[in-house]
Amino acid sequence: MTPKSQPGLGRRLLRNPLAVGSVTVLLAIVLAALLAPVLTSWDPSQASAREILLPPGGEHLLGTDSAGRDILARLLHGTRFTLLGAVLVIGVAFVIAVPAGMIAGYFGGRIDAALSWISDLLMSIPNLVIVLAFITVLGPRTTIVMLIFGVLFAPGTYRLTRSATRAVRRELYIDAAQVSGLSDLRIIRRHVLRRVRSPLMIQASIAAGVAIVLQSSLDFLGVGDPRDPRWGQMINDAFLNIYRAPLMILWPGLAIGITVAALALLGSALRDEIEATSSRRGRSARVRPQAKPTDPAEGLLTIRGLRIAYGEVEVVHGVDLSVQPGEVLGVVGESGSGKSQTLFAALGLLSPGGRITEGAAWVDGQPVAWPGSPDSAVTALRGRTIGYVPQEPMANLDPSFTVGHQLVEPLRHHLKLSRSQARLRALELLKRVGIPDPERTFSAYPHQISGGMAQRVLIAGAISCSPRLLVADEPTTALDVTVQAEVLELLRGIQKDEGMGMIVITHNLGVVADICDRVAVMQNGQVVENGSVRDVFARPQHSYTKMLLASTLEGAASRVQLDSEAAR
């Protein structure tokens, strides 16, 4: 079956009430500007000494100003100048900044240094000083002022484009495009621009609102061209006559406020949709949420007939697993075999786009995952009933907080301990997992401890609330052999002391032989062999299991020992 294409950004925005509302308002404002001569017959510059400061009503729906000019006509015609000024600012800023930012971010080196120096220089000079200097020399020409603002807006847009381009530049598909012989210009145009255009759209909506406010501020100060009707000039006139005609200030104020608010809301909607893109990928083939399973399941963790898909691609095919209290299950297989995805589904940790299409999982007899299951089904069990030890310990500790802070917060949340009680508990846990100086480690940041100590900290966090089930995902990855042995001994000791069930996800058969009671071998999203470690290692039945056992050097002594014991 061919996967359905995901709807584009435009279609997704049409489903967003915030985006639809803001776009509708902006379209109405644009139409009012375009149809100004049709919507009113008054000349915005026609003054009348007999019709000064008339209240709303009659021939003048919104009244007249201090020169007897129709306020509605000036408001509608002023929309043209205001929107044109915003377009000029965005156009100039993007024409200068987008190519410069992509070139700097893509090539780096001296080009990046030179362009960034120019950008920093422009940002260091007060914008108002530059604008006033040009106005003094060239006169109060609004078009020139907006062009200058466009240049002054360019550094911010440049930085955004450069940052986004640098992030894309590190992607492997960029290297692949270079190897395939594509020119740098073609790569920038076809690959880089597609990735940076979304944040630029948000930047454009924000910049337009700021440009309108700045233009109106200058007009209010009398800097703009007095011959053209503008919202800022109308506010200035209304301010001077605030006691004689207080309603005059309402109309241009509403026009500015509504336009800027609509642009800000559109930018917010764009941001929300762009951030949600990754979580919507692969969901075109949604399954209808099924009812919560009612049949109870025995065991600490039970998985029955679990199927997981990303889009139309199924990655786990009908997996059955179970763990009893006090038992250690090893789930082994090569990368991509589906072992982590299977357990992540039971923990509610599937990546964006992943979904359960069939089957279910229970923890301690309570259903936690099924097609369409809510996150709340398993959230309440994390930490208290289920503990999790992730792989890559340094990547799973927040560098912004101390080790102690990251241990104390879950304790206070789950066990409702005071800060001092949680601190004492955290120090006890650090000592229990073999940290030689708990006080020092408690106060340290993640970069100040070794990888082995970081793994011990994660184990301490996983067991902090005495869970009944502990899931360890590749707990010895990236650790040297000596530290691996220490971590495995620590896990084995904690599991026996607490009597908890434990699942070890690994590709290392030596780890399975050392710590596990049973083993489930996975290949291509299926369990191909399941049984006690003694039986599977001594008498493997599936060809894939035999291949794994034949291809590993780690744990060979344990296999020989198991073979000799089985022969007795």
List the pLDDT tens digit at each of the 568 positions of the chain.
333 444 555 666 777 788 888 889 999 999 998 998 888 889 888 888 888 988 888 888 899 998 889 999 999 998 988 888 889 989 999 999 999 999 999 888 899 999 999 998 888 877 777 777 777 777 767 777 788 888 888 998 999 899 888 888 877 667 656 755 678 888 888 788 877 877 888 888 888 888 888 888 888 877 766 667 888 889 988 999 989 988 899 999 999 999 999 988 888 887 776 665 544 444 444 455 667 776 667 789 999 999 999 878 899 999 999 999 999 999 999 888 999 999 989 888 887 778 899 999 999 888 888 898 887 778 778 878 899 988 877 778 888 789 998 899 888 888 889 999 999 999 999 999 989 999 999 999 998 998 888 889 989 999 988 899 999 988 877 677 778 888 888 888 999 988 899 999 998 888 898 899 999 999 999 999 999 999 999 999 999 999 988 876 444 444 344 445 445 5
**CA–CA distances in Å: residue 91 to residues 149, 160, 202, 234:** 11, 16, 14, 26
- Tell me the β-bridge partners of 502: 328, 470
Rounded-to-5 percentages of helix, strand, coil across the chain: 60, 15, 30
- Residue 301 in tokens: 């963790």
- Residue 188 in tokens: 């920038």
Residues 73 and 43 sit within 8 Å (Cβ to Cβ): yes
Contacts for 222-225 with beta carbons within 8 Å, 24 or more apart?
A: 222/140, 223/131, 223/132, 223/135, 223/140, 223/145, 224/140, 224/142, 224/145, 225/140, 225/141, 225/142
Q: What is the CA radius of gyration of the chain?
A: 33
Cα 188 to Cα 311: distance, rounded to the nearest angstrom: 29
Q: Counting every residue, how long is the chain? A: 568
The helix (run of H) or strand (run of E) holding residue 408 is: helix 403-415
Q: Please provide the DSSP assignment of 444-470 as one string.
A: S-GGGS-HHHHHHHHHHHHHTT--SEE
pTM of the model: 0.55
Grouping H, G, I as helix, E, B as strand and the rest as coil, residue 437 is: coil
81-278 is classed CATH 1.10.3720.10:
yes
